[in-house]
Each structure stands twice: as structure tokens, then as C-alpha cells.
């Protein structure tokens, strides 16, 4: 099934937008949420190849509701298209085994749905962004939740803001594990600390379920942190976008079956 869709994923700090044409993701654009002046340009650019296609859906997922409301309004105004919100207008097709009142982030559910749609087996999804999540999906396609921690840049920013002597630095891969100056020591602590945390969690999950799951990484820092890490089977930068497409595709397939 080949579908046409504009996908929008609103994160805590950044928004990612991209077009699916005949089921294939075109080039994505990313912009900071506070830069609303870039939104109209990003939307127009991403939507341009979709204008010649019929039945284009616009799906928006968000973990930042104030930003999402503004972005949804601007998309509707710019395109004249109805925006469908994930978990409000359309449900992510993933089973859930969570506490009754738990409301997981839409990005976590979309990542889980996309990963299981491709792998069809138990897996762990590591999403490294403003926060870093390490979530478990079982072999039946059920999302169990997992762990949430501060992401790499958030850790570095906090070290700067909550201390007197530690500098403000940007995340980068350390040249070696032993930092010979303060900035390199901070980079090493955060970089290797996050990799070690993920390994510990994956091993604990494996002990719990009795087998070692595949591990998929995504998110803005996923490639930097995990691209050469033997623990991680693959890095998929656009996993959340793929989850948006999976969500739309499954809904249409279910509607088609119901109609027949």
C-alpha cells in the first residue's frame, strides 16, 4: 500500500517534518520550536511534492503540547489541510502493558510501532534526544515502557548551570575516554555514561524476559552516541516518522478490512 502523508513530530526542543510520497520518506527538515518564523518555510518546502497528489494526510505527534497547538494552527493556516493528532484522532497501533493511568509519550509509542512493524520480534528502542528513553517491546508487539533519563545535552547544560566552574559546551564524541581537560572530561562522562546506562538496562531487560532483544537507536543524538556500539543492532534516525506512516497505513488497512 502506497500512501501520501505529511508527518510532523514535535519534540521538547525541535520539530521534524517530512513528506511520504508513495510510501517513501522524502528529505526531512528539522527546526527549533522557538523559531516559528521557519515553520511556514519548512511546511511549504516539505509539502511541495505532495501538491500534485490526492488524499494527502497530515499527521502530527507531539511531546510538547503548547508548541504542538501553535504548530497545528500554523499548518492548517498555511496548507488549508486538516491536521490529525496522534492519540487524539488516530491511535498508534501498538499493544500496551502499562499502569492504568500511565500516558506514555507519543514518540515512544510511534518508535515502538515502527520498530516492531519492521522487526516482528522483541526489541529495545533507545531514543536519544532532550531526554533519552530505553523502551522494551515484546515479541507480540506490546509496549511495556522502560526507562527515562536526561539526554546528553541536557546533562551538559545542567553541569554548567548548577556548578560554578564547569563550562557551557556542546555535545561531541570524545577523542579518548580519559579527558585531559575539564570540557573533555565532561564529554567523556556524558558520552560513556549514557552508553553504559543503556547497556545496563538492556542487560537487565534481557534477564527479565529470558532472552537478548534486538536494540534499535534513534533520536537526534542516536547516531553520535551509538553508531559504532556493538550493543546496538541498527541506528534509524527517522524512526518516529516511520511510526507516523505505520499508524496511518494500519488504520487504512483496518478500514479496508471492515468495509469488505
Q: What is the pLDDT of residue 36?
A: 64
CATH number of the domain encompassing residue 68: 3.30.420.40
Shared domain for 122 and 226, answered yes or no, is yes
Residue 206 lies in a domain: yes
- Residue 260: count other Cβ atoms within 10 Å of its Cβ: 5
Shared domain for 108 and 161, answered yes or no, is yes
Residue 255 lies in a domain: no
Q: Which of the four pLDDT bands, split at 50, 70 and 90, describes residue 122?
A: very high
What is the residue range of 143's domain? 95-241
DSSP secondary structure of the chain: ----EEEEEE-SSEEEEEEEETTEE---EEEETT-GGGHHHHHHHHHGGGTTSSS-EEEEEES-HHHHHHHHHHHHHHH--PEEEBTTTB--S-EE---TT----HHHHHHHHHHHHHH-S-EEEEEESSEEEEEEE-TTSEEEEEEEEE-HHHHHHHHHHT-SSPPP------SSSS-SSHHHHHHHHHHHHHHHHHHHHHHHHHHHHTSPPEEEEESTTHHHHHTT-TT-SEE-TTHHHHHHHHHHHHHHHHHHHHH-
Taking only the tens place, the pLDDT of each residue in 15-47 is: 899 999 998 998 788 887 776 667 777 788 888
What cell numbers appear for 212 in the block? 537478548
Percentage of the chain modeled with pLDDT above 70? 98
Residue 31 lies in a domain: yes
Shared domain for 80 and 102, answered yes or no, is no
Q: What is the pLDDT of residue 37?
A: 67
Shared domain for 111 and 228, answered yes or no, is yes
10 Å CB burial of residue 252 (0-12, 13-18, 19+) is middle
Active site residue 184: no
The total of structural domains in the chain comes to: 2
Name the pTM for this structure: 0.93
Taking only the tens place, the pLDDT of each residue in 135-174 is: 999 999 999 999 999 999 999 999 999 999 999 999 999 9
Query: Measured between alpha carbons, how far is residue 50 from residues 29, 203, 208, 252 in Å?
Result: 15, 44, 46, 19
Percentage of the chain modeled with pLDDT above 90? 74
**52, 65, 107, 138: which is the annotated catalytic residue?**
107
Shared domain for 159 and 203, answered yes or no, is yes
Taking only the tens place, the pLDDT of each residue in 204-217 is: 999 999 999 999 99
Q: Are strands 95-96 and 142-150 parallel, antiparallel or unpaired?
A: parallel
Residue 248 lies in a domain: no
Residue 250 lies in a domain: no
Amino acid at each position: 500500500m502506497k500512501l501520501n502523508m505529511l508527518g510532523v513530530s514535535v519534540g521538547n526542543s525541535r520539530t521534524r517534518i517530512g513528506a511520504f510520497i508513495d510510501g517513501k520518506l522524502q528529505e526531512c527538515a528539522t527546526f527549533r520550536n522557538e523559531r516559528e518564523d521557519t515553520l511556514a518555510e519548512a511546511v511549504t518546502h516539505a509539502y511541495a511534492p505532495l501538491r500534485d497528489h490526492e488524499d494527502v494526510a497530515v499527521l502530527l505527534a507531539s511531546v510538547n503540547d503548547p508548541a504542538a497547538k501553535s504548530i497545528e494552527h500554523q499548518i492548517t493556516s498555511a496548507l488549508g489541510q486538516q491536521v490529525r493528532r496522534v492519540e487524539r484522532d488516530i491511535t498508534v497501533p501498538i499493544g500496551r502493558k502499562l499502569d492504568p493511568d500511565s500516558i506514555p509519550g507519543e514518540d515512544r509509542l510511534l518508535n515502538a510501532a515502527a520498530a516492531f512493524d519492521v522487526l516482528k520480534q522483541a526489541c529495545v528502542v533507545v531514543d536519544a534526544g532532550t531526554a533519552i528513553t530505553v523502551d522494551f517491546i515484546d515479541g507480540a508487539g506490546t509496549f511495556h515502557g522502560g526507562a527515562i533519563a536526561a539526554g546528553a545535552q541536557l546533562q551538559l547544560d545542567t553541569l554548567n548551570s548548577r556548578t560554578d566552574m564547569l563550562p557551557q559546551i556542546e555535545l561531541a564524541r570524545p577523542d579518548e575516554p580519559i579527558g585531559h581537560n575539564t570540557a573533555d572530561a565532561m564529554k567523556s562522562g556524558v558520552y560513556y555514561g549514557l552508553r553504559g546506562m543503556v547497556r545496563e538496562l538492556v542487560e537487565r531487560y534481557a534477564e527479565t524476559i529470558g532472552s537478548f532483544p534486538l536494540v534499535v537507536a534513534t533520536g537526534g543524538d542516536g547516531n553520535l552516541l551509538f553508531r559504532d556500539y556493538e550493543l546496538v543492532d541498527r541506528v534509524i534516525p527517522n524512526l518516529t516518522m516511520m511510526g507516523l506512516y505505520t499508524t496511518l497505513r494500519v488504520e487504512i488497512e483496518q478500514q479496508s478490512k471492515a468495509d469488505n
